[in-house]
Amino acid sequence: MNNSAMHRAYTLCAVVLLFAILFYAENNLDTYSIQILNLVAINAILAVSLNLIYGFTGMFSLGHAGFMAIGAYVCTVLILTPEQKESMWILEAIHPWLANLSLPFLLAVVVGGIAASLVGLIIAIPVLRLGGDYLGIATLGFAEIIRVVITNAAPFTNGSLGIKGIPQYANLWCNYGWLVVTVYVIVRLLRSNVGNVFKAIRDDEIAARTMGVNTFYYRVLSFCVGAFFAGVGGALTAALISTIDPKMFTFMLTFNILMIVVAGGLGSITGSIVGSIIITFMLEWLRIVENPISLGDFEIPGIPGMRMVIFSVMLMCIILFRREGLLGMREFSWDALARFVKNPVRFFSRASRSTSGASGK
């Protein structure tokens, strides 16, 4: 057995272990903890997909909430039963095309992702000619347009009332399954030649173009793959929390994901996953500052809104004092783990010297 086959076997074992932990969690944890675990998986999917667009291809996109909205709405409309649709669309009757349309959940999620990816393609063709912060503001504009259209297209989306009572199909297995799929696809993509092109574009687009790379094609490709997984993430969110409305998909949502990506490290898949674990848990944990705390007879009143203040201060601190994020551009690898197990002290001193550690998973 050569080295890479062994690593593959290790990875497989790790995935099996992950699902064993999930099995344990499902039977032994309360609903609230399971909900947080679900959110971790969905945030990780979203963060990894944004990292592909921004961290690996260097396109500052602020349109993630828009893609999520599309995935969520498409998937929701496809999984609701005809009776539910009829009773939910009060203001305007549902469009006859959609009234009886129904797909199994897994397929609906894929369709949601594809829809987001198609919209991504339509957006990408005009917008990706821009670069830098103009690209950011243009994608943000598109996300906002998507939201306004959803609010107004009542026959399809039930307008600003939103959709309630979505069947909660997105359980632990589904979310973590999608997470594994996402990470697998994106890691394979990044380790292929296409991934090298992405990184070349990120590091110097003009140089990449001089080497004969059709940079526009690859930028669109990266954008659409990212949009697909953002759509999947949106669809899973809808099926997890069972209510969606246009107000959910504001810039705030993109900001949260951006925060995860920046905190974890731009250009590190491992970083995005670690970031989503830390930040999802922290956002839940920070809820205590908004609730009153009683210490014996003494009660500290909760401050509504304080959670997001702390969250923004954290982002500011990361960007001001540790711009490369938690992991920088380092990735997890079995070799690195082996080195760490053999000699932890040496591992860290080496890691701090070379910022671009071993790649691969």
Partner 1 sequence: MMLTPELFIQHFFNALALGSLYGLIAIGYTMVYGILRLINFAHGDIFMLGAYFVFFSTIAFMPAWLAALLVAIALLIMFTTFRDKSKATPAWYWGAQALLLGLAGYYGFISPVEFQPPWVLAVFFAIAVTSACGIVVDRVAYQPLRDAPRISALISAIGISFLIENLGVVVFSGLPRAVRQPDMLVKPIIANISAITGNADSVVRISPMALIVPSVSLLLVSGLLWIIYRTKPGLAMRSISKDIETTRLMGVSVNKVIALTFALGSALAAASGIMWALRYPQIHPYMGVLPGFKAFIAAVFGGIGSIHGAMLGGLILGFIEVFITATFPALSGYRDAFAFVLLIVILLWKPTGIMGARTEEKI
Smallest distance from the beta carbon of 35 to partner 1, in angstroms? 24
Nearer to partner 1, 81 or 312 (CB): 312
* Out of 295, 320, 341, 345, the residue judged to bind partner 1 by CB under 8 A: 320
Nearer to partner 1, 113 or 275 (CB): 275
How many residues bind to partner 1 according to rule CB under 8 A?
A: 40
Residue 298, amino acid: F
Q: Are the CB atoms for 285 and 269 separated by under 8 Å?
A: no
Bridging pattern class, strands 293-295 and 298-300 = antiparallel
Smallest distance from the beta carbon of 234 to partner 1, in angstroms? 20
Smallest distance from the beta carbon of 327 to partner 1, in angstroms? 17
Does 291 participate in binding partner 1 (rule CB under 8 A)?
no
Does 96 participate in binding partner 1 (rule CB under 8 A)?
no
Residue 329, amino acid: M
Give, as ranges, the residues between 8 and 67 that touch partner 1 (CB under 8 A): 60
Smallest distance from the beta carbon of 318 to partner 1, in angstroms? 9
CA 233 – CA 190 distance, rounded (Å) = 20
End-to-end CA distance of the chain: 17
Which residue reads 């997470």 in tokens?
Answer: 179
Smallest distance from the beta carbon of 191 to partner 1, in angstroms? 25
Does 301 participate in binding partner 1 (rule CB under 8 A)?
no
CA 271 – CA 260 distance, rounded (Å) = 9
Does 126 participate in binding partner 1 (rule CB under 8 A)?
yes
Q: Are the CB atoms for 280 and 43 separated by under 8 Å?
A: yes
CA 258 – CA 285 distance, rounded (Å) = 20
Triad 165, 167, 171: Cα angle to 5°? 130
Does 273 participate in binding partner 1 (rule CB under 8 A)?
no
DSSP H or E segment with residue 299: strand 298-300
Does 207 participate in binding partner 1 (rule CB under 8 A)?
no
Does 292 participate in binding partner 1 (rule CB under 8 A)?
no
Smallest distance from the beta carbon of 258 to partner 1, in angstroms? 7
Does 316 participate in binding partner 1 (rule CB under 8 A)?
yes
Give, as ranges, the residues between 147 and 166 that touch partner 1 (CB under 8 A): 148-149, 151-152
Tokens (6 digits) for 115: 């829809």
Q: Which residues contact 111 (CB under 8 A, 6 or more apart)?
A: 74, 75, 78, 103
Does 129 participate in binding partner 1 (rule CB under 8 A)?
yes
Smallest distance from the beta carbon of 13 to partner 1, in angstroms? 37
Does 122 participate in binding partner 1 (rule CB under 8 A)?
no
Does 305 participate in binding partner 1 (rule CB under 8 A)?
yes
Does 138 participate in binding partner 1 (rule CB under 8 A)?
yes
Q: Are the CB atoms for 324 and 297 separated by under 8 Å?
A: no
141 DSSP assignment: H
CA 328 – CA 324 distance, rounded (Å) = 5
Does 140 participate in binding partner 1 (rule CB under 8 A)?
yes
Smallest distance from the beta carbon of 308 to partner 1, in angstroms? 4
Number of H helices, E strands in the chain: 17, 2
Does 94 participate in binding partner 1 (rule CB under 8 A)?
no
Q: Which residues contact 89 (CB under 8 A, 6 or more apart)?
A: 154, 155, 158
Residues that bind partner 1 (CB under 8 A): 60, 126-127, 129-134, 136-138, 140-142, 144-145, 148-149, 151-152, 251-252, 255, 258, 262, 303-306, 308-309, 311-313, 315-316, 319-320, 323
